Amino acid sequence: MFTKKNKIEVNAILDTQIEEVLKKTSQYEDFIEGKLTCSSCGSIMNNQNIGIMLPVESGTKIKFYCDRMDCVEQYKLDHE
């Protein structure tokens, strides 16, 4: 089985997964409306800047960190 994927396909799959996950946690509306923010710097999350999606509260909510280096580092500090 070949798993040749270009970047565009990977992003498309990722976007769909984000949508599915957020619909399960009832956060999809907030995401669309720009109400979900990075837990570190407070940037509004969108399809382009999601760095880390972390399930919290027994997986009923998702906590976000954006893809800035500082924020990924903050995530590591918080969870290691």
User: Which residues make up the interface to Zn ion (CB under 5 A)?
Assistant: 38, 40-41, 43, 66, 68, 71
Say which residues have a Cβ less than 8 Å from residue 56's Cβ, sequence separation at least 6: 62, 63
Shorter beta-carbon distance to Zn ion: residue 25 or 43: 43
| 66 CB-contact burial (10 Å; exposed 0-12 / middle 13-18 / buried 19+) | buried
Report, in Å, the least distance between residue 38 CB and Zn ion.
Answer: 3
Report, in Å, the least distance between residue 65 CB and Zn ion.
Answer: 6
HSE on the CB side for 22, CA within 13 Å? Answer: 22
Shorter beta-carbon distance to Zn ion: residue 13 or 41: 41
Report, in Å, the least distance between residue 37 CB and Zn ion.
Answer: 8
User: Do 30 and 60 touch, CB atoms closer than 8 A?
Assistant: no
Shorter beta-carbon distance to Zn ion: residue 28 or 63: 63
